Structure 1
């Protein structure tokens, strides 16, 4: 196999906030006790920010504060809200006109609004978004997760409900290297040691049981959102640890802001709450924060222990707390995401089998964490880039990357996935190709942060057909190029950059799916000689390139070529900043939409304007410096 060499090229930054962290649910079943004592079964689909609750026969459900229980729901006439019918959910025959329709739901804009409101409630100021829907930058330092990291897990019971899972069982669940209790294939520590290639040793200090001040029903009160009484309970336990137990919080691992990385709370029994209420499991920021021994809290996760423990959700949430990875599924429910079940930060930790043995993080996340040796394949960046036939071994903590020289936050990652080892619960095996761009938004299924390049070209998860299947990874019949598996630049699977220009990457001659696979790099479309910008102009409209702003240039030749619609007249202008204003440096104004400028520029600030003299349509501008 080709010997991988790690080059000093920084991994892509994550342009997302820590609030991109929620527990996903897929056909999650829970039982709820109504105020009349009747126990009803509810199915949940969604996440901490927004979820649809339905009865077993498909009727929508909502918590009604006046009834103090779950009632059947209907959608408001404007599609913005769920409204209680006032009829309590019952196992008996339904009275009145209650709609039964599994497709009946809120509008997408209404769901997006509710997601934002939930993020604000759970994370406060941390949840403020930018215009593109993504959030503040996490530095590369924040994502590096190697060496020994120590978290804290507090176990809690109640005066009227004692814990049935012992402290030693929780310690084994978190820390044992040979762990199989409750059907798990490994412990939480075992998972991270496996996927990091031994570079991360994540262990947890487990407390003795803290018995809450009040009975469990006080904390599970459905009249309060999940962050209210849960945080009251957590603060009780933290104060008990500090003032009664004398716990030294400085022994825990912290980030650069001296905030505890892994704060986990397990409580006895079930949640005994409806979704997002009472003690419903979730992740949020503790407010006000707790500080002791020179460190402070930041985020926490809290969940019920029930009668058994599965590592999947704990591992997924630890991906947020310890490594700062964001979720890879679609919060507004309009799709199943693109990565779907092929990565732990998608749905790769909540299935029937992978909740006991979660799938690994995708190659990009392993790179951010400092766990992979990554080889840059783009010769425009790495003059010593290997080419021709290459090989990759599944689970080897290596990967290949093809980076966009015009946008270092965009790249393709390549790795083999074989159904063995930590990948044994994957839906498919073969060559995985991930398209990563930090400007993407996971709630936009056609421009996500990480897009899986599905070998069958069907984009089933994006179209909400499934969460991945056995034809998604590339093998002997597959090929990946600018036009294959399909040439749909906005929704398809191909090697084009997101702006529509060619990346020059082509993957062919892929071997049969195996633990070690071979493939050929090369033979793709010749990459453009410069940066390509695309857009649409209405009649008499103009656009400033690049991206509505200016660029600084140290001097030399600026070449720009504009291509537009044949039935319109688009023109091109270059301006330079002089004397406190923009001054025209060069212009191309032929009676067609094909324009070109070559300009000998000195050191300064420049911008390019594409404008419609007449007509409308798409344009493409290539700029080389």
Structure 2
């Protein structure tokens, strides 16, 4: 079961102005997303919303690292240097962040959704089972409601919003294209996503009623959305059945734009977000599900709208790290990572990664693994950036795991990418986007540095493969964990080898090779000097009888040994041992039926090891 989740707007070095209850405007920086974020004052001090003060206050991290504790002093441009805040650079511990992320996801998206046949499924199950279908092709019609307030009129016209969403030749506000233009481009014309835009709905209350920071962002926002939906149904006579729905008759694209700025602190009031509307609104045989709401300000950039539409209309999950421990492996190289929020990306977002285009039915994908495709091409292959094609090397033992290969050239829809060359994605639906060392989509960085995973950057110009690059079980590095290579996640050799990569160009060539994966199961790990590990997975296994072959490969500057034990007479008894002065050991043992375990131990030295067991 995949642990996919979706629906959060990413923020990185995001700045917003906030008006304190005393009228002072302070500048706040934000790193995180809708589920969890760290806020800091302009001089880097931690900030938290204080409900007693009804404003943003300086904060400390609790001694146990679980909470941000208000100092009781409002953030101020005048007082910041006079306030003593201890541990200003600390953050919450990873476990606390993970719990807060999960709690926020459940509050905003809900634990479960009801399917048309009466079964209850988790959101991640729906994303896996139903979301990635050919329904992401064809004509999809969304709804965008524009809202102003009795005391705050809209400054961006309905026509400007319609052009922003639907025009095919659009460049207003610095955008390179409209929302519709983006999806037509990245889908190769297979998806035409348009929006019906309403006239302005004027809210029942002044804007300050909805921006009240005493309430989380889903409270007054949803009250406002329900007002607008009822106005559309009972005053405007809008036909909701004209909108595109999923298989459960739920509206796919429900978008709300409101006049001005959010005028709220992060996660409060009218702060932009995506969530599930509860209780749902139904009319004309269809119902609401998720929505996105955001402020129009004085200009419009398509990046966030496109990212959130990726959730709404295709069910793509986020590809960045919710808990903030890394930048996520994909980083800025895909629209569902950070590829829609940069200074230029927000006007021209990067395309979705090859795997998402494949699931949406937009790409022609060629399977390269001969274990799956007997007619797989071999030798020198070519790929053209933006050609709506890709290559794939699938795990025959786990069809949900694969490597995708595509060329990325800084032109067309890819013009704002951080690098150009051959991109290799390692996809596993069992991955988790908050686990940087086993995400859903991992980018195999050509420099092998894993900078985004180590929170060094959001990608750089050494991440894609070119004429000096090679990708195999041992290159760019042979680390069995946290490495960059063509090993499957269980440590076994996939057999994929890519070499002779051409110079960077719109069309690139490379040689596809095939190594012979070892026969048997592969177990990997790390040993310190004097440490031992029991294989498989710290326990025993039952064997019906026959020959047990095992081969150990360890570091050249260490001495690792290998031992096989059998359960006899109520205890573990040594059956065979291999202990040469190197770390390369092997045992072949004619085994009768019984319970066995294998021990790998370090006589001296430390490093990674790989054990292949054939039964």
TM value normalised by structure 1:
0.87
Structure 2 distance, partners of 1:598, 1:196, is 57
Residue 62 of structure 2 is aligned with which of 63, 76, 90? 76
Using the TM superposition, give the Cα deviation of residue 123 of structure 1 relative to its aligned residue in structure 2, in angstroms: 1.6
Residue number in structure 2 paired with 1:65: 51
Q: State how far apart, in whole Å, the 1-side matches of 2:304 and 2:447 are.
A: 30
For residue 528 of structure 1, the aligned residue among 497, 518, 521 is: 518
Match of 1:142 among 131, 135, 147: 131
Q: Does structure 1 residue 156 correspond to structure 2 residue 142? A: no
CA distance in 2, matches of 1:548, 1:313: 50
Corresponding residue number in structure 1 for 2:576? 591
> Which residue in 1 is equivalent to 2:563?
569
Distance 1:155 1:614, change over 3 A: closer
- Cα gap change, 1:608 to 1:517, in 2 (>3 Å): farther
Alignment of 1:171 onto 2:171: no
Task: For structure 1, list consecutive stretches of 5 or more residues without a partner in the other structure.
Answer: 1-13, 128-132, 574-586, 601-606
Q: Deviations over 1:194-216 (max 9, x none)?
A: 00000000011111111111111
Residue 333 of structure 1 and its aligned partner are, at CA, apart by 0.5
Change (3 A) 1:42 1:200: same
- Superposed, 1:320-399 pairs within 5 Å as 320-399=311-390
Deviation at 1:103, TM superposition (A): 3.5
Tell me the residue number matched to 1:6: none
SS at match of 2:73: strand
How far residue 527 of structure 1 moved from its aligned partner, in angstroms, is 1.4
Offset of residue 319 of structure 1: 0.5
Equivalent residue in structure 1 for 2:11, among 14, 25, 35: 25
C-alpha contact (below 8 Å) 2:499/2:511 kept by paired residues: yes
Counterpart in the other structure of 2:430: 439
Most deviating of 608-617 and 67-76: 608-617
Partner of 1:590, secondary structure, is strand
C-alpha deviation, 1:568, in angstroms: 5.3
Q: Secondary structure at the match of 1:448?
A: coil
| Secondary structure at 1:163 match in 2 | coil
Q: Which 5+ residue runs of structure 2 have no aligned equivalent?
A: 114-121, 555-559, 579-585, 603-607
- Going from structure 1 to structure 2, the CA distance change for 1:238 and 1:138 (only over 3 Å counts) comes to same
**Could you give the per-residue CA deviations for residues 586-619 of structure 1, whole angstroms, max 9, x where no partner exists?**
x99722376668999xxxxxx9965258979977
2:277 corresponds in structure 1 to 286
Give the drift of 1:135: 3.9
Q: 2:217 aligns with which of 214, 219, 226?
A: 226
Corresponding residue of 1:7: none
Deviation of residue 469 (structure 1)?
Answer: 0.6
Structure 2 Cα separation of the partners of residues 149 and 549 of structure 1: 52
Cα distance in 1 between the residues matched to 2:566 and 2:400: 28
C-alpha separation between the residues in 2 aligned to 1:559 and 1:241?
A: 73
Task: Describe the superposition over 1:374-406 as per-residue Cα deviations: whole angstroms up to 9, x where unpaired.
Answer: 000011111000011000000000000011111
Shift of 1:240: 1.0
Report the CA distance between 1:101 and its aligned residue: 6.5
Contact residue 158 and residue 213 of structure 1 kept, 8 A: yes
Which residue of the partner structure matches residue 89 of structure 1? 75
Number of the residue aligned with 1:307: 298
Q: How many residues align?
A: 581
1:460-491 residue CA offsets vs partner (Å, 9 max, x unmatched): 11111110011110001111111111111211
Which residue is 1:579 aligned to? none
1:118 alignment partner in structure 2: 104
Q: What do residues 515-565 of structure 1 show as CA deviations (whole Å, max 9, x unaligned)?
A: 00000011x5321234545579998977589x99999xxxx9998644469
Q: Note the alpha carbon deviations across 1:492-532, whole angstroms, 9 max, x for none.
A: 1111111111111111100111000000011x532123454
1:568–1:230 CA distance, 2 compared to 1 (3 A): same
- After superposition, the Cα gap between the structure-2 partners of 1:242 and 1:296, relative to the gap in structure 1 and judged at 3 Å, is same
Q: State how far apart, in whole Å, the 1-side matches of 2:180 and 2:596 are.
A: 55
Separation of aligned partners in 2, 1:341 and 1:548: 43
Checking the alignment, whether the CA contact within 8 Å between 2:21 and 2:54 is kept in structure 1 is yes
Give the distance between the partners of 1:104 and 1:177, measured in 2 at CA.
47
Aligned partners of 1:544 and 1:610 also within 8 Å: no
In structure 2, relative to structure 1, the CA distance for the partners of 1:322 and 1:16 (3 Å cut) is: farther
Question: Do 1:540 and 1:611's aligned partners in 2 also have CA atoms closer than 8 Å?
Answer: no
SS in 1 for 2:110: helix
**Residues 16 and 326 of structure 1 are in contact (CA less than 8 Å); yes or no, is this contact kept in structure 2?**
no
Q: Distance in 2 between matches of 1:608 and 1:426?
A: 56
